[in-house]
Amino acid sequence: MTIEPKPYFHELSQTEVDQLIQEKTTWEMVMDRYAQPDWCVYQDALSGIYGCWTLTDLSPTSNRSQVSPTGICKLCDDCKPKYESRPEISQ
Ligand SMILES: [Zn+2]
């Protein structure tokens, strides 16, 4: 049996996110179904208001939708020190 890797929550389209909101999906279900990127060091980043605010911002103009492979979590308090301590990767 192969275990499918979980899709990244921040890679969902806004339409998909709106769908989840409509279905009244809880953050618990989100944490169960989706993966947190490894560049975000926030514990349980996908746990809604207790998580990483970059990754759990659901608005259309959110930081989530602008997340790059290098990680916009450089803006979030927990990830900032980690981000700043590593060399810049060009996009
Ligand atoms: Zn983060």
In a domain, 2, yes or no: no
Distance 76 CA to ligand 1 centre (A): 5
Q: How far is the CA of 89 from the centre of ligand 1 (A)?
A: 17
Q: Which residue has the tokens 């590593």?
A: 86
Range of the domain at 33: 9-84
The answer to whether position 63 is within a domain reads: yes
- Count of domains forming the chain: 1
Would you write out the chain's pLDDT as a tens digit for each of its 91 residues? 677 889 999 888 889 999 999 999 999 999 999 998 877 878 898 998 888 878 888 887 776 766 665 566 666 666 666 556 655 555 4
Q: Is 1 a domain residue? A: no
- Tell me if the pTM is above 0.75: no
3-state secondary structure of 35: strand
Ligand 1 center from residue 72 Cα (angstroms): 8
Provide the pLDDT for residue 68: 63
Tell me whether residue 91 is in a domain. Answer: no
Classify residue 72: in a domain, yes or no: yes
In a domain, 60, yes or no: yes
Q: Are 40 and 79 in contact (CB under 8 A)?
A: yes
CA–centroid distance, 1 to ligand 1, in Å, is 32
- Please give the distance, rounded to the nearest whole angstrom, from the Cα atom of residue 15 to the centre of ligand 1: 22
